Structure 1
């Protein structure tokens, strides 16, 4: 009797021990999945791998490029159409090398040149999260690229020129915050993909990193992060940079267009510490790429358009942005001293006057104020006049624009 009781007691202890170990395992799994969700947001995976309104990570989003249309793949854990049968090794190798499990070269619309910098532990966490989301059975679409870009073998040349495989290596001469910011900006954030000009081969030069460029097919200009005449952050406070990244608005301005999507899908969910680290890294980027002085033609255009632009501004814009462009806090950003108004490229301010828009609704700014469209109200000449005015008034150093610059960006009339 005593022996059986003792045996039962030991068996009960073993059972409780196994249960405790299982609970620890489940807790660790949940922690890894939560970390993976955070990192997937940092990488903005959902933006490309989901159509707005459709099920997350089902793929099929059309991405129009100068070379044709690419369709993002299904990365839900469906075993037939998604990544349900992938192993963590296969996922890591894809992120690091830009090759699918079958060895097929991946088109660089996926920023594997940045994702290669991500650590194995972080890749494993992202994979664990993707395996935990609901599977979606949706077939992948064939890529629709023009000849010769539909020949994947040509990607070997692109990779030779523009791809360097390898995990991010911390700079021991920099602070831990700077290195964390560099890891996020250069890796999962893949910020250089938009803020560096893309050449005819779809690549970008390391020597021109973060010096700004027109985003192909989207007609939005991603400003230089190194020039204080554009979006260079050397004159910004860490607080203002952090606010812009996380809230989408700051005392210095607001984000619109593609950057608003990045803030909405990704940056608003990052921790204060990670946003602070990114701000430190971005502020430390070397200053380059100052703009040239206005030409004689631009000076004459300013003299011609300035009076009309001032009249339109005072009638349509001063109520929100202030008579002297001083703005009103986060709700209506200042125009005086606003680098995004003064950049060499006038694409963004023209588009805002024509189409209006909203900063993203974020956790820190859930009900943003918007900018009304003026495309139906103002002619090309009038838009050119008011944009010239805000680019050159109040000691702003932008250049004048012409009606033609407006016309090429004006939305086509509805039938």
Structure 2
């Protein structure tokens, strides 16, 4: 029934998109002559700036297939509506950006439109990239144009009907996309504004750290309030450090340490965030990381979670979990859940442990926890997988015990929840 309802809604959006498009021509439009001269794009300082910005935006992660040439595309990006392969953004004339002008690039980044005016699918995070400044976009384009061209045709997407009808995106954009560059807040510090620009725009943190509805749009104004990453089955936590936030109690240094090394006194980056640290944030300037931390610390407190009345008697479940924890976990994470500083992350107050769904802790117990290898932490300790040693009941019990011990007051994880993630790949 849910799938039928989604298709009905999508058909309504397509009809709306068709209606809005009626009378418009869709003939390909040749790119206009660029107002940016070739000498400007070859400026070494501009190219160096663009290289840093492309790294800060983590562009290579999406635009590089495993084992493929950097920025040559081909990585398949999964969505609930089908898979979309990323395009080649090297300056190859036939398959990349070789024939693109800067104006074409700006239109894609800022307006979410392709070279011929077609709407781009929002798996490309233009809902955030629209905030990137014109000057920064020019630097990024100069850098991409300086790369060696790679001939790599873009694969066809596997979007299912009706989502494959691109005209429906006009209705989607009307609901979820607000075009416009980042606007500085004169009442805030320079560090806050820089951090807001990086988090809201170039770093596109909200693309993962916000809840999404059935059409893939971000729900309401829940900025950086945490959300399950579609298809990948990880939960990106709420990023508020204030009361009831996902990072409640985190200091500025805790945030900087996690982004720089993949590990802090309060937790460790796993799953998709580990890749972000490896590919992007560990290479960022310290003042930019500190600016991001300043901005995140300004996020508001969150409403206290309303505990739902449970008819479950969890005493047996918690007793079983305590037994498993004592046998399998306490030697590293401690009987008090505090871990060992710089080696084993604490479990008490851990944002990945306390997130609403229990997905992260369940997956780490099953498949292991592998912190990223970074310049600041070149030999991280990893947690072994327990999928072969523990059955579903044991995993549910120990995760529930961890989520309800010490300072933790998260919900129960049921055995049926564990079954869903036992065979899910770690990446």
Asked if these proteins are the same fold (TM beyond 0.5), I'd say yes
Residues 11-410 of structure 1: matches in 2 within 5 Å?
A: 29-226=43-240, 232-293=246-307, 295-298=309-312, 300-301=313-314, 303-410=315-422
Structure 1 counterpart of 2:36: none
Q: Secondary structure at the match of 2:200?
A: helix
Instruction: Give 1 or 2: higher helix fraction.
Output: 1
Q: Give, in whole Å, the separation in 2 of the partners of 1:357 and 1:293.
A: 29
Residues 196-218 of structure 1: CA distance to partner in whole angstroms, max 9, x if unpaired? Answer: 11111111134222221111111
Structure 1 counterpart of 2:24: none
Q: Give, in whole Å, the separation in 1 of the partners of 2:287 and 2:424.
A: 44
Contact 2:237 2:351 (8 Å CA) reproduced: no
Q: Give, in whole Å, the separation in 2 of the partners of 1:120 and 1:27.
A: 14
Per the TM alignment, residue 295 of structure 1 is displaced from its structure 2 partner at its CA by 2.9
Contact 1:49 1:75 (8 Å CA) reproduced: yes
Contact 2:244 2:301 (8 Å CA) reproduced: no
Contact 1:230 1:343 (8 Å CA) reproduced: no
Q: Give, in whole Å, the separation in 2 of the partners of 1:107 and 1:26.
A: 30
Contact 1:224 1:230 (8 Å CA) reproduced: no
Contact 2:247 2:351 (8 Å CA) reproduced: no
Q: Which runs of 4+ in 1 moved over 4 A?
A: 25-28, 227-231
Q: Secondary structure at the match of 2:84?
A: strand
Q: Give, in whole Å, the separation in 1 of the partners of 2:374 and 2:134.
A: 30
Q: Give, in whole Å, the separation in 2 of the partners of 1:363 and 1:412.
A: 29
Moved more, 267-276 or 324-333: 324-333
Per the TM alignment, residue 28 of structure 1 is displaced from its structure 2 partner at its CA by 8.1
Q: Secondary structure at the match of 2:253?
A: helix
Per the TM alignment, residue 228 of structure 1 is displaced from its structure 2 partner at its CA by 5.7
Q: CA RMSD in A?
A: 1.9
Q: Give, in whole Å, the separation in 2 of the partners of 1:371 and 1:90.
A: 46
Q: Give, in whole Å, the separation in 2 of the partners of 1:306 and 1:142.
A: 49
Contact 2:242 2:297 (8 Å CA) reproduced: no
Q: How many residues align?
A: 387
Unpaired runs of 5+ residues, structure 1, are 1-24
Q: TM-score, normalised by structure 1?
A: 0.89
Per the TM alignment, residue 317 of structure 1 is displaced from its structure 2 partner at its CA by 0.9
Q: Give, in whole Å, the separation in 2 of the partners of 1:254 and 1:335.
A: 10
Q: Give, in whole Å, the separation in 1 of the partners of 2:216 and 2:405.
A: 37
Q: Secondary structure at the match of 1:408?
A: helix
Residues 258-294 of structure 1: CA distance to partner in whole angstroms, max 9, x if unpaired? Answer: 1111111111111000000000101111112432225
Per the TM alignment, residue 231 of structure 1 is displaced from its structure 2 partner at its CA by 5.3
Residues 367-412 of structure 1: CA distance to partner in whole angstroms, max 9, x if unpaired? Answer: 1111100001001111111111111122321222221111111117
Q: Secondary structure at the match of 2:364?
A: helix
Per the TM alignment, residue 253 of structure 1 is displaced from its structure 2 partner at its CA by 0.5
Unpaired runs of 5+ residues, structure 2, are 1-38
Change (3 A) 1:234 1:337: closer
Q: Secondary structure at the match of 1:304?
A: helix
Q: Give, in whole Å, the separation in 1 of the partners of 2:244 and 2:273.
A: 15
Q: Which has the larger radius of gyration?
A: 1
Q: Give, in whole Å, the separation in 2 of the partners of 1:248 and 1:133.
A: 29
Per the TM alignment, residue 363 of structure 1 is displaced from its structure 2 partner at its CA by 1.5
Q: Secondary structure at the match of 1:70?
A: strand
